[in-house]
Amino acid sequence: GQQVMQIPQYQHVQEGEDFTTYCNSSTTLSNIQWYKQRPGGHPVFLIQLVKSGEVKKQKRLTFQFGEAKKNSSLHITATQTTDVGTYFCAGESGTYKYIFGTGTRLKVLA
Amino acid sequence: GAGVSQSPSNKVTEKGKDVELRCDPISGHTALYWYRQSLGQGLEFLIYFQGNSAPDKSGLPSDRFSAERTGGSVSTLTIQRTQQEDSAVYLCASSLAWGESQSYEQYFGPGTRLTVT
C-alpha cells in the first residue's frame, strides 16, 4: 500500500536557524497537505499543494511539491520558539483518503 | 463557528469491554475521517465517509473496529473487545466534499484519548 516517509524524525535547532523536513511517497500523489501539531494539541492545516513543481510561501515557511509529485518539503527560515511542534505531510493519490507521513518533531532552543 | 467536537475527551476501559467514540463534524462538511495516533507517532488512517457513499474502511485494523455515520453528520467509532494495543488518541476530522472546494483542508477535533487497562 501507499507509504509516506518523512525525514528527519527529530530536529533540534537554535532559535534563528533554518529547518527543513522532507516527505517522500511511494506513489504519485494528486495533492499533498502539510499540518502542524503542537505538543498536546491536534493537527492544524498549513497548506495544500496540487501542481507539479509548485512552491508556496507563508511568511517564513516555504513549501515545495516535487516535479514527479512524489516528494515535498517544508522549509522554515529563522526559526522561532513558536515553531515548536511536529510537522506532518499527508498525501492523497486519487482515493480521497490521506496517508500521513511519520512526522518531524521540531524543537527550537532559545 | 463551532469546530469539530469529540466525546469523551478521555476514556479508560478494561480489556475486553466495548467502547464508543463520538465525532460531531463541522456543519456542512460532508467528508469525515477517523485516524488513530499512538503516543509520539504519526496518524494512522482508519476510515473515510463521503456523503451517502459507501465508506472507505480500508484502514480499520481488525473486525473489532467499526464506524457509522448517521444522517451524514455525527459519526461513531466502535471498538469491540478492546485490547491494550488499542490504547491511543482517536482523532476525527471533517472537510468539504471533493468538488466543493479548491482545498480539502481537514479540520481536526481535539481527539479522544483511549486507555485500555
Residues of A with CB under 8 A from a CB of B: 31, 33, 35, 42-45, 48, 88, 90, 92, 95-103
Contacts of B35 in chain A (CB under 8 A): 100
Q: Smallest Cα–Cα separation from A101: which of A18, A29, A17?
A: A29
When scoring A42, A86, A87 by the number of chain B Cβ atoms within 10 A, the one with the most, hence best to mutate, is: A42
Residues of chain B with pLDDT under 70: 1, 98-103
Tally the C-alpha atoms within 13 A of residue B59's C-alpha that lie toward its C-beta.
Answer: 24
Contacts of B109 in chain A (CB under 8 A): 42
- pLDDT at position B101 is 60
CA distance B108 to chain A (A): 6
Within an 8 Å CB–CB cutoff, is residue B13 touching chain A? no
From the number of C-beta atoms within 10 Å of its C-beta (0-12, 13-18, 19+), residue B91 rates as buried
Measured between CB atoms, which of A43, A97, A101 is closest to B56? A97
Contacts of A43 in chain B (CB under 8 A): 43, 91, 93, 106, 108
Measured between CB atoms, which of B50, B104, B109 is closest to A42? B109
- pLDDT at position B51 is 82
Are B58 and A97 in contact, with CB atoms under 8 Å apart?
yes
CB pairs under 8 A between A and B: 53
Residues of chain A with pLDDT under 50: none
Are A74 and A87 in contact, with CB atoms under 8 Å apart?
yes
Contact A48 B104 (CB under 8 A): yes
SS3 B101: coil
What are the pLDDT digits (tens) for A56-74? Answer: 999 999 999 999 999 999 9
Contacts of B58 in chain A (CB under 8 A): 97
- pLDDT at position A2 is 78
